[in-house]
Amino acid sequence: MKVMDELILGYDLCKDYCRISYYDEEEETPRDFSFTDERNPFLIQNAICRKKGTDEWLVGQEAYSTALFGGGSVVDKLLQLVSRKGFATFNGKRYSSEDLLYHFLKETLAHVFEKLGTSKIREIVFSVQELNSVVLDTLIAAMKRLNVERKRVHIISHTESFLYFVLSQKRDLWSNLSVLYDFSGDGLNYYELEILRGFQPNVAYAKRRFLEEGFSIDILESETGMKMADSILTSLVDRMLSKKLVSSCFLAGNGFDNCEEWGDHFLKTLCNRRRVFVIENLFAEGAVFSALERARGTALYPFSIMCEGRIHVDIGLEVSRGLNRQFLPIASVGSNWYETRREFDIIPDQESTLKLKVKKAGERNPVQVEIPFGDLIKRGNKLSRIAVSLHFTEDNAFTVTMRDRGFGEFFEPTDAVVRRSYTIE
């Protein structure tokens, strides 16, 4: 394996396992990272074990094997533990879920660094099923402990990874609808990508739906279950796609690893007049393209992106600077909600409220959101400097916090704070 100068990585972190891909600059394409020489070398289970009597941490199948033979205890399904801020005990010592995620990332990335010949990360993008703020904060904290600069670490949804992956393919694969069935320990999820034309620029719009009609991956452990899975999937495809013009279909997730052995009717129905691809590392490779875009500092595709994880509104504020009245943009449609954080100071002039203009994507007229200043302006007009911060807590919810910063040498800051949260319907 060739030695690389800096790494552009896509890291797919699922419920039960992870996959990593990297950008090959010579071939100008993502490559899937192989952890082992076993049957499924690109997949490693989200399991971690601390070996008894040592400071050595083991991950994946090695962790399970060590625990099986009494060499230590194992913890798996790390993201679930992280999401509930759980703990685990190894050799009498208690570890937080952040500690465990840190050690898991450290060990998995160590394999990458060793094989690719460098530990320098230019950009790394994590792809997760759902953008849970607890998981996102813990991921960022763990990478900080690994001494990776915050500006080089990003997190996107599986939906966005799917979008990036598909748009990286030839145009005829996304000129009409592109769809994805993802079958893993997270269940059965369905994705769609379509190009919405008539906008400037055109919009690449992707969405995800968890299929309640789906089933657990455990169903494939019996012959009867495999027949049932084949029947359910065949019915789903026939109902969902029969009236849609589909340019490409993709299958992802370890549930489809051996689908040609049990999904005969499903595959025949899906492949009827459609181009179908099984892509094991689809989300990791999509994350690589997202990382590549950030590394280059310019958009890879001539589209505005709309999907899970991107905000659907423009937010701004009318302000005065000198004698001029102008519009101050605060948040923009298509921005990553987790990374959309703005801070600025204002001095109210004959105003009793902060008036935010909130305009949904595709709508002409904004809605005005007013937040009373309250005690922040009790000193009188033009005698208060207020620090305003706005951050999103989800792609459709944001929080505004206003604090008194005093007024130069005349008035000291107080403890006055106003905080309001809003959900975009």
> 317 and 276 in one domain?
no
> 150 and 29 in one domain?
yes
User: Is residue 399 pLDDT above 90, yes or no?
Assistant: yes
Contacts with 88 (C-beta within 8 Å, 6 or more apart), sequence order: 75, 81, 94, 95, 97, 100
292-307 burial by CB neighbour count: b if 16+ within 10 A, else e?
Answer: bbbeeeeeebebbbbb
User: Is residue 363 pLDDT above 80, yes or no?
Assistant: yes
Helix (H, G, I), strand (E, B) or coil at 390: strand
Residue 386 structural domain: 313-423
> 415 and 354 in one domain?
yes
> 412 and 329 in one domain?
yes
Q: What is the pTM of this model?
A: 0.91
User: Is residue 380 pLDDT above 90, yes or no?
Assistant: no
Q: Record the tokens describing residue 87, joined without a space.
A: 């703990």
What total of structural domains would you count in the chain? 3
Give the domain CATH number at 18: 3.30.420.40
300 within domain boundaries: no
Helix (H, G, I), strand (E, B) or coil at 152: helix
**Residues 207-233 pLDDT 10s:** 999 998 878 888 999 999 999 999 999
> 147 and 177 in one domain?
no
> 145 and 30 in one domain?
yes
> 134 and 53 in one domain?
yes
**Residues 298-329 pLDDT 10s:** 999 999 999 999 999 999 999 887 778 889 99
> 169 and 149 in one domain?
no
**Residues 56-89 pLDDT 10s:** 999 999 999 999 998 888 999 899 999 999 999 8
Q: What is the largest CA-CA distance in the chain?
A: 80
**Mean of the per-residue pLDDT values for the chain?**
92
> 198 and 90 in one domain?
no
pLDDT at 302: 93
19, 117, 336 from 41: Cα distances, Å: 10, 19, 32
Burial of 411 (0-12, 13-18, 19+ CB in 10 A): middle
> 169 and 97 in one domain?
no
Q: Are 70 and 61 in contact (CB under 8 A)?
A: no
Task: Provide mean pLDDT across the span 256-275.
Answer: 93
pLDDT at 378: 84
Give the domain CATH number at 178: 3.30.420
> 322 and 272 in one domain?
no
> 170 and 41 in one domain?
no
Single out the residue in 154, 176, 211 at which a domain terminates.
154
